[in-house]
Structure 1
Amino acid sequence: MTLNTDIKTVFAPNGVLRAAINVGNPILAREDASADGASGVSVDLARALATRLGVPLELVVVKAAARSVQVIEENHADVGFFAIDPVRGANIAFTAPYILIEGAYLVAESSPLQDNRQVDAPGHRVVVGQGSAYDLHLSRELQHAQIVRAPTSPAVFDVFVEQSLEVAAGVRQQLEASAHKHKGYRMLPGRFMVIRQAMGVHKSRGEHAARYLAEFVEEMKTSGFVEEALKRHGITGASVAPEQDTGS
């Protein structure tokens, strides 16, 4: 990758790279008062990009995936970290994914549900984080079950319990952690989707910016940076995404 003045201006027109960091997904980032508000794999990638561009980094910390999209669309952030989805792709140019995360279902121990395919049935209420990748995916896929939206992904389990719902949907590790803390709950086997987590930039920044970011992500994967970041932050259950040909 080569750096020129133009690309630095495109990504950081005010001389600072503003990165939207969603702490609602603990696989990617978590709140950290000792580290500019957040730490995690996405923060490490944002810091590496700022270093590459030769500009300071400013974290725009949000607590929901939908808000990450919003701050990019409203030009309150320059780059962000998202699950790839065609709805979000209307205004955001995604890179190829850098990690893959499983989406899974949680139910009460007493639930008759034993298989993911049984979830989509009349009378079943499935709670998801509003605007999350799971919300967008299940809104398209579920034909019979009702979707209930929690304010954020971390609030899914609480809403699931408080409203005595049939199914909770979200990041496998996040739901497993809740099941381990509270007796009487279990995960359904397997997964209902694979979430492809990518970096993204608003399409108004142009094709050159999108291509530069895509090449940056591929370099971070092939160099081992992403894998090392996952290990450093103790993340399990997520894998480095396969390499992609950026066409450069």
Structure 2
Amino acid sequence: MNAPLTVAAGQASCVALDVAANVATAARLVRLAADQGAELVVLPELFLTGPELTAVVVEPAKYTVGETDSRLDPLADACADSRTAAVVGAPVWEDGRILVSAHVLGRGGQPVGRYDKQHLTAAERAVGISAGTLGHTVSLDTWRLGVAIGEDVHHAEHARAAARDGCQVYLVGTPLDRPGPPDSLVTERAADNGLYTVLAGPVGSGIWHPEGERLAEAGADPSVAAATLERL
């Protein structure tokens, strides 16, 4: 029941609107994280397309990524080969709506869940992105993990909801076109809710202890920040 969990935040650039190339990079990051002992790796917001949402809205059939999309196969294979779970950002087209989402792949590479971003920026709303309505908790071994995307972390109630749902870790993918939230905000979310926080973005990716200490920081692109979390 008290086994530790080793997690990683992946930091890398993506190729605009090239899903196959970005899946290949995601697979490399999973393998790199696994080499450091990671059992779970978190990747940035919209990692599989980049932030080119206008193009996604114009051609959703081309640029959105479903849970069973065959383009995800190399990433699923990397997860299965290394027994490492992954959270990867991509746009999703569902019921006529386009969502900014995070796909969750289990250790065997199988889809085990999806979270749709709840708090949108003005630019996202302006191009026609829809907001998600439900939070998402991932179970990995005996750990409960809450998923967040970008703007979500700026809303205190989002992390509180994860904590109320029994989460011990808050997994945040941040945008590729601008820096993620400041360290002060990340440590505030961690401390206010007793959560480890894993932040994956273009720069500043890392892992924080619930008391605010940074446990790991990613280096040059591409890289991962990995840390072993002990049950509190």
Query: By percentage of residues, which structure has more strand?
Result: 2
TM-score strictly above 0.5: no
Larger radius of gyration: 1
Q: TM-score, normalised on structure 2? A: 0.25
